[in-house]
Amino acid sequence: MLETVVAIIIGLVLFLGPIALIVQKAGYSPLWVLLAFVPIVNFLAIIYFAVTEWPIEKELQQLTGRSKSPADAKTESSWELKRLAQRVAMVERLASSKGPDETAKQMLDTIGQSASEYFNQTLISLEQFVKRATNDDEKTFAEKLLNTARSCEGEIQDG
């Protein structure tokens, strides 16, 4: 009889111990594991854990939202503007009076877009950047890039 009780206790510890650790890592009290003993409530608890935002997720969201310093935001913005300038340079290559050069064709093949799709996506990205730009210099530069890209509009040819 004693061996049976000991075996049940060991089994419960081996079963519920890891579950308690998982629940604790999710940000809840490990005592939630006691719900495993209550019929129907144990099933509802699993559904609850599956569909709600965990405390650890809320904390992570708060930390990542606050961790972006103004310097980080400026760096991200600068990198995006550089990427957009590269896209406009590619648009100019696609709009060449001689037709797109070999590098431009290879790039389009690699990304699986037509020249007009690439052009339209570039315009949309530039327009969005201009709308959300907070730095006057970046906004002015993005507007110049947008004007340069728009000047190529009639020259972009698929094929």
**pLDDT, tens digit, for every residue of 20-44?**
888 888 888 888 888 888 889 888 8
pTM of the model: 0.55
Residues 6 or more apart in contact with residue 91 via CB below 8 angstroms = 118, 119, 122, 148, 149, 152, 156
Please check whether residue 95 is in contact with residue 81, taking contact to mean a CB–CB distance below 8 angstroms.
no
Instruction: Please tell me the total count of domains within the chain.
Output: 2
- If one counts every other C-beta atom within 10 angstroms of the C-beta of residue 53, the result is 9
Given 65, 86, 104, the domain boundary residue is: 65
Query: Do 40 and 105 fall within a single domain?
Result: no
Query: Do 133 and 82 fall within a single domain?
Result: yes
**Spatial distance between the Cα atoms of 9 and 77, rounded to a whole number of angstroms:** 58
The pLDDT of residue 67? 54
Query: Do 135 and 84 fall within a single domain?
Result: yes
Q: Which domain holds residue 33?
A: 2-65
Query: Do 77 and 140 fall within a single domain?
Result: yes
Given 65, 85, 110, the domain boundary residue is: 65
CA-nearest of 126, 120, 152, 125 to 140 is 126
Query: Do 19 and 91 fall within a single domain?
Result: no
Query: Do 80 and 150 fall within a single domain?
Result: yes
Answer whether residue 117 shows pLDDT above 60.
Answer: yes
Query: Do 25 and 91 fall within a single domain?
Result: no
Query: Do 58 and 86 fall within a single domain?
Result: no
Percent of the chain predicted with pLDDT > 90: 20
Give the number of C-alpha atoms closer than 13 A to the C-alpha of residue 77, restricted to the C-beta side: 21
Answer whether residue 71 shows pLDDT above 70.
Answer: no
Please check whether residue 156 is in contact with residue 119, taking contact to mean a CB–CB distance below 8 angstroms.
yes
Query: Do 51 and 122 fall within a single domain?
Result: no
**Residues making up the chain, counted from first to last:** 159
Query: Do 38 and 59 fall within a single domain?
Result: yes
Please check whether residue 39 is in contact with residue 45, taking contact to mean a CB–CB distance below 8 angstroms.
no
The pLDDT of residue 141? 92
- DSSP letter for 155, please: G
Query: Do 127 and 57 fall within a single domain?
Result: no
Residue range 14-18: average pLDDT?
86
What is the distance between the terminal CA atoms of the chain, rounded to a whole angstrom?
83
- DSSP state letters, 12-34: HHHHHHHHHHHHHHTTS-GGGGG
Given 65, 81, 100, the domain boundary residue is: 65
Query: Do 57 and 90 fall within a single domain?
Result: no
